[in-house]
């Protein structure tokens, strides 16, 4: 006689019931968000950060207000705890390394896109005029926002969403006038920067893990890459011609006639740099142009909406590649230029001020067949949309991350003229920076 035997239970029926239960929960949550969005349609913000009707609705939605206050309290408590841990590690000289944990796996099970849409609905609810200063001052105290820079009185921001994307007073962010200077497009913290080198160039997400530039910008991106010994002669002739032809010709060569290369042996051309800047919830949330340049194409990648805080960068693989993002690519006097706007939890809505009709964080059912990024080529082809240094480009609803990838002048060889310009960064990792301040400069040697 056998003792301790267990009755085997088929795993398949249980898994199928679990999947059905998860799908029911997701459907219920998504349908609830849609009902709230229908009842309280989001308010559009204007270029001056305020609303067109400053009187507002005198009635308050108690549930939305309570939920907003609880969310602010939870975010503040989490920020204080994380800041304390990071500060303690820095004092000990410890650089935190990549280390996946159970929380990162759990985040993949949550309907973060629907949660972000719900948060957007709550923050777009119009607040009573008398309550607005109290809510906004509480937010500023929790996340160290400077209310003295706001362009409008607090009473004129009808909702938290309008307050998040507020403009600043004239002169609050002076733009460095040096023509040989690339400025910061956002207020934020410098996470990583450097020059892209080697085969299949990578950007460090955190110590111990990196992601490829082509996966961030897209496989068909017109990054200035060269193949080590495998570039066709025809393509090299085209590259020489681009220095003498118009931007339109350069655009047609880059996209219509891409180089045929072995993907394993592709390396970046000399002088290709990157910079990663993190925006905290209390930072100014608008994105500006870092240089005078022509935006030729916009790409929208649908994806997850994981948080982008310090813990997430240490625990979630390919965080910036997996999250929803909008990438602008074009050309400036130094060559290639790209800005990647990374969405995050509660920041699924990325507003392009140069393309107001763009919609992000759409319901999953509308994205099932869009594995490739949705693209738009700005007209006129080859010239695109011209932006001046300091022009407004986009806005986030809360904290997020911006990644710059760009070419800049460097000496091409030791035998080159010693007076050739050379680009160098003028920031350090961990520095706080504001819109218009210099990220790097190039100067005569």
DSSP three-state, residue 328: strand
Burial of 332 (0-12, 13-18, 19+ CB in 10 A): buried
Q: Is 48's pLDDT higher than 90?
A: no
pLDDT at 369 (0 to 100): 44
State the pLDDT confidence band at 187, using cuts at 50, 70 and 90. very high
Least confident stretch, 60-64, 107-111, 233-237:
233-237
Rounded CA separation 357/207 (Å) = 38
Task: Return the top range by mean pLDDT from 71-80, 118-127, 257-266.
Answer: 118-127
Least confident stretch, 138-147, 227-236, 337-346:
227-236
Kindly write down the DSSP assignment for every residue of 84-134, as one continuous string: HHHHHHHHTT---B----HHHHHHTTS-HHHHHHHHHHHHTSPPPTTTHHH
- Over range 156-164, report the average pLDDT: 90
- Residue tagged active-site, from 150, 159, 187, 289: 187
Q: Is 24's pLDDT higher than 60?
A: no
Rounded CA separation 406/290 (Å) = 11
State the pLDDT confidence band at 424, using cuts at 50, 70 and 90. very high
pLDDT at 274 (0 to 100): 95
Task: Return the top range by mean pLDDT from 130-139, 247-256, 407-416.
Answer: 130-139
pLDDT at 276 (0 to 100): 95
Q: Is 12's pLDDT higher than 60?
A: no
> For residue range 255-289, what is the model confidence (pLDDT) as tens digits?
333 333 334 456 666 789 999 999 988 899 999 99
Rounded CA separation 291/390 (Å) = 7
Q: Is 123's pLDDT higher than 70?
A: yes
pLDDT at 417 (0 to 100): 60
Rounded CA separation 368/222 (Å) = 26
pLDDT at 89 (0 to 100): 60
Rounded CA separation 276/320 (Å) = 10
Least confident stretch, 178-187, 201-210, 216-225, 295-304:
216-225
Spell out the residues 6+ positions from residue 11 whose beta carbon is closer than 8 angstroms to its own.
none
**What's the token pair of residue 71?**
């969310």
Q: Is 370's pLDDT higher than 70?
A: no
Between 1 and 375, whose confidence is greater? 375
- Over range 196-205, report the average pLDDT: 84
Catalytic residue list contains 400: yes
Q: How far are the Cα atoms of 302, 350, 355, 370, 443 from residue 359, in angstroms, in the given order?
A: 11, 8, 10, 14, 41
Q: Nearest 5°: phi and psi at 379?
A: -90, 150
Cα R_g (the chain), whole angstroms? 24
Burial of 168 (0-12, 13-18, 19+ CB in 10 A): middle
Between 179 and 220, whose confidence is greater? 179
Catalytic residue list contains 434: no
CA atoms lying within 13 Å on the CB side of residue 132 = 27
Q: Is 65's pLDDT higher than 90?
A: no
Mean pLDDT (the chain) is 75
Q: How far are the Cα atoms of 147, 321, 400, 437 from residue 172, in angstroms, in the given order?
A: 12, 33, 21, 12
State the pLDDT confidence band at 221, using cuts at 50, 70 and 90. low
Share of the chain above pLDDT 90, in %: 32
pLDDT at 300 (0 to 100): 92
Between 47 and 233, whose confidence is greater? 47
Share of the chain above pLDDT 70, in %: 63
Q: Are 339 and 327 in contact (CB under 8 A)?
A: yes
- Over range 159-183, report the average pLDDT: 92
Q: Is 327's pLDDT higher than 90?
A: yes
Owner of token pair 């944990």: 101
Rounded CA separation 193/408 (Å) = 14
State the pLDDT confidence band at 292, using cuts at 50, 70 and 90. very high
Between 69 and 233, whose confidence is greater? 69
pLDDT at 310 (0 to 100): 79
pLDDT at 20 (0 to 100): 54
State the pLDDT confidence band at 193, using cuts at 50, 70 and 90. very high
Between 384 and 93, whose confidence is greater? 384
Catalytic residue list contains 212: no
Kindly write down the DSSP assignment for every residue of 260-326, as one continuous string: ---GGGEEEPSSEEEEEEEEPTTS--EEE-SSSEEEEEEEEE--B----SHHHHHHSTTHHHHB-EE
Q: Is 436's pLDDT higher than 80?
A: yes
- Residue tagged active-site, from 288, 289, 302, 349: 288
Task: Return the top range by mean pLDDT from 26-40, 158-172, 202-216.
Answer: 158-172
């Amino acid at each position: 006689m056998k003792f301790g035997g267990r009755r085997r239970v088929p795993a398949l029926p249980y898994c199928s019931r679990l999947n059905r239960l998860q799908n029911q929960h997701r459907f219920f949550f998504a349908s609830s968000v849609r009902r709230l969005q229908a009842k309280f349609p989001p308010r559009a913000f204007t270029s001056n950060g305020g609303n067109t009707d400053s009187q507002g609705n005198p009635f308050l939605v108690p549930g939305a207000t309570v939920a907003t206050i609880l969310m602010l309290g939870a975010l503040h408590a989490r920020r204080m705890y994380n800041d304390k841990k990071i500060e303690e590690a820095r004092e000990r000289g410890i650089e935190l390394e990549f280390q996946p944990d159970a929380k990162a796996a759990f985040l993949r099970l949550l309907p973060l896109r629907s949660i972000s849409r719900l948060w957007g609905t709550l923050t777009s609810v119009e607040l009573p005029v008398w309550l607005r200063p109290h809510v906004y001052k509480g937010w500023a105290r929790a996340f160290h926002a400077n209310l003295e820079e706001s362009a409008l009185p607090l009473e004129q921001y009808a909702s938290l969403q309008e307050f998040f994307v507020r403009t600043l007073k004239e002169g609050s962010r002076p733009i460095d006038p040096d023509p040989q200077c690339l400025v910061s497009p956002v207020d934020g913290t410098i996470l990583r920067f450097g020059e892209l080198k080697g085969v299949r160039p990578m950007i460090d997400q955190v110590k111990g893990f990196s992601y490829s530039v082509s996966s961030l910008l897209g496989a068909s991106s017109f990054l200035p890459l060269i193949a080590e010994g495998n570039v066709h002669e025809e393509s090299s002739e085209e590259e020489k011609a681009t220095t003498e032809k118009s931007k339109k010709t350069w655009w047609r060569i880059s996209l219509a006639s891409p180089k045929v290369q072995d993907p394993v042996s592709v390396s970046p051309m000399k002088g290709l740099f990157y910079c990663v800047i993190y925006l905290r919830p209390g930072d100014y949330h608008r994105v500006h142009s870092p240089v005078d340049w022509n935006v030729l194409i916009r790409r929208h990648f649908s994806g997850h909406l994981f948080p982008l805080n310090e813990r997430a960068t240490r625990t979630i693989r390919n965080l910036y590649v997996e999250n929803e993002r909008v990438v602008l690519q074009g050309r400036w006097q130094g060559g290639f230029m790209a800005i990647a706007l990374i969405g995050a939890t509660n920041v699924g809505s990325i507003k392009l001020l140069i393309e107001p009709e763009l919609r992000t964080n759409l319901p999953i059912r509308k994205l099932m067949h869009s594995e490739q990024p949705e693209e738009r080529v700005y007209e006129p082809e080859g010239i695109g949309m011209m932006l001046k240094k300091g022009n407004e480009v986009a806005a986030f609803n809360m904290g997020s991350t911006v990644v710059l990838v760009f070419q800049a002048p460097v000496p091409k060889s030791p035998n080159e003229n010693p007076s050739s310009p050379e680009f160098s960064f003028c920031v350090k990792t961990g520095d706080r920076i504001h819109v218009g301040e210099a990220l790097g400069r190039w100067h005569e040697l």
